[in-house]
């Protein structure tokens, strides 16, 4: 009998945490509409508000500042808009500046016209070029409205941690707004929206061990808010209409609570697994290139190139060995293409890169299996210079 498949693509999506599964199953008995005033509705509303508190606590925010959405992509499209309000007063945002390594949900620019968006370059180590950011904001046309800057906290491909606090100081000096995609950071590094200097954070449930179909836009206050993306019955204080997806939201809250409760133990264990994985990879293939290995990086992500191995070939080879991993972001189309992150870092776009990402259920035995598959695949590579 073949061994069970090995899942090492946690950055794409996490399996449901057992505590989340139990919470969602219990929540199935809460069938009322959370916007109804009867007892059945109030029971669901209480569960949703409990989940909102847990999500807020995960990032040091106030529950009243958490807008529940269908996921991170919706949250990004909601906040990336030229139209804001300061209380009841309209406020224009004139231009969006985003880092070259952002997720496609941000790179697409949300509701900004393409000619009102500009890419911020990154350095060769994959972090946003702060000098370039300073120069772009110094040249911003203030008459068009405020500048908005979008910088992710942790890159989804490399796991590299961005210098968001330093960027926030530059943004604030130019009276700008800072939007931070914290999808890959939540539960993996400590986050406090106020200490970070972000005006808005974007979160996703299914990266944390929660269900798909839930996410959040978290703000630092309630005065400055984007024009709603979805109109209707006025749920979420009018910011996001539509009856809340109570099952997904309750699971999201449980996942957030679990991420906080076992933060130190889980991340310490995963860091040890990552160190053993990368040491074994280097021993089996000394020419392996691990991106971001010399800088600040989350403990669960290993993005690597095996010279002579194409990304699509490597992904298929690992899959045939029973190992599920990724060739980068899995959220755009499912196809394997050039990594815009590697291109932005100045690497040859023809290089094949694969991503191993670990999670709460990854074990020592899993690392043993991953290294066995890695060694086998590395040993089958075509020698350098040999004709294809």
Instruction: Kindly list the catalytic residues.
Output: 331
Q: State how far Cα 24 lies from the chain centre.
A: 23
Q: How far apart are CA 275 and CA 282, in angstroms?
A: 11
The two most distant CA atoms of the chain are separated, in Å, by 74
Query: Which residues, 6 or more positions from 45, have their beta carbon under 8 angstroms from its beta carbon?
Result: 34, 35
Instruction: Output the CA–CA distances (angstroms, integers) from residue 272 to 17, 278, 363, 373, in the order listed.
Output: 21, 10, 11, 20
Six token digits for residue 130:
């702060």
Q: How far apart are CA 185 and CA 372, in angstroms?
A: 29
Q: Which residues pair with 323 in a beta bridge?
A: 6
Pairing assessment for the beta strands 177-181 and 146-150 based on DSSP bridges: parallel
CA-wise closest residue to 212 among 255, 155, 257, 162: 255
Q: How far apart are CA 352 and CA 348, in angstroms?
A: 9
């Amino acid at each position: 009998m073949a061994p069970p498949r090995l899942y090492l693509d946690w950055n794409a999506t996490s399996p449901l945490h057992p505590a989340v599964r139990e919470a969602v199953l219990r929540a199935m008995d809460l069938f009322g509409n959370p916007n109804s005033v009867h007892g059945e509705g109030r029971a669901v509303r209480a569960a949703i508000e409990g989940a909102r508190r847990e999500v807020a606590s995960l990032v040091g925010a106030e529950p009243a500042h958490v807008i529940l959405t269908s996921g991170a992509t919706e949250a990004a499209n909601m906040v990336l808009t030229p139209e804001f309000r300061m209380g009841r007063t309209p406020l224009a945002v004139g231009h969006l500046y985003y880092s070259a390594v952002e997720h496609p949900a941000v790179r697409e620019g949300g509701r900004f016209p393409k000619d009102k968006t500009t890419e911020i370059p990154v350095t060769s180590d994959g972090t946003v070029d702060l000098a370039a950011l300073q120069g772009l904001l110094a040249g911003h046309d203030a008459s068009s409205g405020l500048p908005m800057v979008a910088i992710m906290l942790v890159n989804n491909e490399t796991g590299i941690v961005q210098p968001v606090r330093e960027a926030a100081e530059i943004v604030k000096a130019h009276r700008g707004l800072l939007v931070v995609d914290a999808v890959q950071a939540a539960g993996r590094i400590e986050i406090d929206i106020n200490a970070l200097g972000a005006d808005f954070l974007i979160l996703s449930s299914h990266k944390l061990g929660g269900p798909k179909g839930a996410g959040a836009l978290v703000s630092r206050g309630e005065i400055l808010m984007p024009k709603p993306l979805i109109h209707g019955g006025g749920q979420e204080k009018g910011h996001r209409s539509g009856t809340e997806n109570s099952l997904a939201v309750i699971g999201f809250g449980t996942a957030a609570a679990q991420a906080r409760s076992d933060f130190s133990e889980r991340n310490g264990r995963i860091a040890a697994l990552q160190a053993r994985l990368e040491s074994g990879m280097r021993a089996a293939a000394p020419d392996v290139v691990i991106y971001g290995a010399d800088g600040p990086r989350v403990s669960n992500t290993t993005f690597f190139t095996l010279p002579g191995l194409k990304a699509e070939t490597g992904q298929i080879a690992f899959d045939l060995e029973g190992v599920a991993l990724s060739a980068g972001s899995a959220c755009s189309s499912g196809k394997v293409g050039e990594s815009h992150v590697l291109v932005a870092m100045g690497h040859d776009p023809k290089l094949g890169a694969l991503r191993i990402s670990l999670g709460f259920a990854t074990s020592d035995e899993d690392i043993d299996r991953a290294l066995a598959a890695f060694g086998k695949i590395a040993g089958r590579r075509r020698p350098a210079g040999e004709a294809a």
